[in-house]
Amino acid sequence: MMRASNLRMAALVCVVVAAAFVVPAASGAGPLVPVEPVSADTADGLLSSGSELLGSLSKTAESERQSASCGPKSVSPQGLRAQTCTVAAEGDTWARTYWSNTTGRRLDGVLTLLLPDGRAVQARCAIDAALGSGSCETPRERTVPVPEGAEPYMAVAEIAEENAERPLLRSGSAQ
């Protein structure tokens, strides 16, 4: 059991390192994905407690049953907070990140959903300090089975200043 845990951790580290190289190259590609704005109070509540986050996911769409796998809250010294999740409902899977930006600056985010079949789906996100907080999602993909020995769905969000070489904050989903 310990070996599987070590392999999973090594795979997660590889994904984050790979994302650090892929995200800057892809930051100019793809449209922004529109999402329903989240009020500052709602996002702050989502970031303050995992149980509130999961409760909010179930309220997001009354007609669909959602399940989520969320990573820990990530915090940067510059005034960013984020929590990133993989979400599944009605045969689809996507990534969602909740963010709070108190830097006073507009930042850019890239949210990546890594699928177990080796594909990746990305969305560019405007992390606007004027809004205070909000959320961003990747497009939904049909859920694919996780092959034996393969990594499950994972999501990684990176938030940076425009044209920056390094992100100010990385946030990932839990597995």
Instruction: State the pLDDT at residue 34.
Output: 32
CA distance 100 to 42: 10
pLDDT at 3 over 70: no
Instruction: State the pLDDT at residue 150.
Output: 86
pLDDT at 16 over 70: no
Work out the average pLDDT over 58-62.
Answer: 44
Work out the average pLDDT over 124-137.
Answer: 93
Work out the average pLDDT over 14-39.
Answer: 36
Instruction: State the pLDDT at residue 175.
Output: 58
pLDDT in tens, 68-119: 999 999 999 989 999 999 999 999 999 999 999 999 999 999 999 999 988 9
pLDDT in tens, 132-166: 999 999 999 999 988 888 889 999 999 999 888 89
pLDDT in tens, 27-55: 333 333 333 333 444 444 545 544 344 34
In terms of Cβ atoms closer than 10 Å to its own Cβ (0-12, 13-18, 19+), residue 100 is: buried
Residue with the larger pLDDT of the pair 43 and 67? 67
pLDDT band at 62 (very low <50, low <70, confident <90, very high): very low
Q: What is residue 17's three-state secondary structure?
A: helix
Q: Dihedral sign for Cα 128, 140, 64, 97, please.
A: negative
Q: Which two tokens stand for residue 170?
A: 């990385």
